[in-house]
């Protein structure tokens, strides 16, 4: 099946307390093997982004989430030429018991305050935005 030239993707920036959930892609993944990322993926044409966010997160982690707000939008071209517009949402989990799908081999809850060096480089801006939101609550 041929991939479309353009797709919309959604990602869940899931935070429990100050801990962010990250997942490790499987080593044979065709796009960014063994890279740490956050849950999510491409949505179907016409699919509501919130519905896609809930679906993708549940498929990859078995977590139910509450989307709080968008943290950022990224636009990029994958190695295979597909252009992606990705919306990253700040989410809270209903629980923290993760059950991975076959798409990932490991997960971690990393502390956004003390483990900054372990935040995947491509979501560091969203981590800063999350910190600004949290600081406004105080």
Confirm whether pTM is higher than 0.75: yes
pLDDT tens string, the chain, 138 residues long: the values are 566 688 999 999 999 999 999 999 999 988 889 999 999 999 999 999 999 999 999 999 999 999 999 999 999 998 888 899 999 999 999 999 999 999 999 999 999 999 999 999 999 999 999 999 988 876
CA distance 23 to 43: 19
d(CA 58, CA 39): 9
Q: Which fold has domain 6-137?
A: Nucleoside Triphosphate Pyrophosphohydrolase (3.90.79)
Beta bridge partners, 85, equal 8, 75
């Amino acid at each position: 099946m041929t991939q479309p030239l353009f797709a919309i993707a959604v990602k869940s920036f899931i935070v429990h307390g100050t801990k962010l959930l990250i997942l490790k892609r499987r080593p044979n993944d065709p796009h960014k093997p063994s890279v740490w990322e956050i849950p999510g993926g491409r949505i179907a044409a016409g699919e509501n982004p919130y519905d896609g966010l809930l679906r993708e997160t549940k498929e990859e982690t078995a977590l139910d989430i509450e989307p709080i707000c968008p943290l950022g939008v990224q636009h990029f071209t994958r190695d295979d030429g597909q252009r992606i517009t990705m919306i990253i949402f700040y989410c809270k989990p209903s629980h923290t018991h993760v059950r991975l799908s076959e798409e990932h081999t490991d997960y971690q809850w990393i502390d956004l305050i003390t483990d900054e060096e372990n935040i995947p480089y491509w979501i560091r801006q969203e981590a800063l935005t999350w910190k600004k939101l949290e600081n406004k609550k105080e």
